[in-house]
Structure formats: structure tokens, C-alpha cells
Amino acid sequence: MFDALKNLGDIPGLMAKAREMQDKMKAMQEELAKRQVTAEAAGGMVQATVNGRMELVKLQIDKTRIDLNDTEMLEDVIVAAVAAAQNKASESARSEMQKMAGEIGIPPGMLS
């Protein structure tokens, strides 16, 4: 009955470990926010670059490959390029967070 309570004596140690994990997570999030990821759409017609906060930081349009009369298509390609870059950045962040979680002993899937 009291076996479950015997680990309570190490509460300061557990709190220190929790604080350490929190600090590592914050540092990882700050590092990920600085990264930039680029993706393209329509075979490179449009390239979008986002940072780790999923903010669009750069957009390149290959002017030799667009039809100025078809702005609707260009709008769709821009949206697709931005979404692809955001998805790529999100997957990269998820992968890095899972890797770090494993290193500090958090079971797989706990950060998903």
C-alpha cells in the first residue's frame, strides 16, 4: 500500500528534471523558429520560404513561366507553394521534437 508513496521523497529531483525538460523544449522551439524551409509548386514556377513559426518570409515567382492573364492560376500556385513549405516545416519540427523527446526519456507519441 505504501510502495507507491516511497517515491514521493524525490519530489525536488522530479521537479528539477521537469524544469530541465521544459528548458530543453523551449530551446528547441527557439531553434526551430529560426530555421527556414523552402518548397515549390508547379514545377518551380513559385517557391515559398517559411520560418519555423510557419510565417512566410520569402516568395519567388519565375516570371518566365507565368501567364499574366491567368492570375487565378498564379494565386492557386502561390497558395500551394506556401502550404507545401508550411507542411515541410511542420514535419521537420515534429521530427526534431520527437527525437529530442526520445533523448530525454519521453515515450514516443507523447508530443504528437
* DSSP-assigned letters across all residues of 32-54: HHH-EEEEEEGGGTEEEEEETT-
Q: Model's pTM, two decimal places?
A: 0.73
Number of domains making up the chain: 1
4 by DSSP, 3-state: which?
A: helix
Residue-level pLDDT at 21: 79
CB neighbour list of residue 94: distance below 8 Å, 6 or more residues apart: 112
Residue 109 placed within a domain: no
Band (pLDDT 50/70/90 cuts) for residue 12 is confident
Residue 110 placed within a domain: no
Residue 58 placed within a domain: yes
Residue 44 placed within a domain: yes
Residue 53 placed within a domain: yes
Supply the range of the domain harboring residue 53. 3-103
Band (pLDDT 50/70/90 cuts) for residue 8 is low
What is the CATH classification number for the domain harbouring 37?
Answer: 3.30.1310.10
| Greater pLDDT, 102 or 55 | 55
Q: Looking at 3-7, 47-51, 72-76, which range is the least confident one? A: 3-7
Q: What is the pLDDT of residues 15-52, one digit of tens each?
A: 787 788 788 888 888 888 889 999 999 999 999 999 99
Residue-level pLDDT at 1: 47
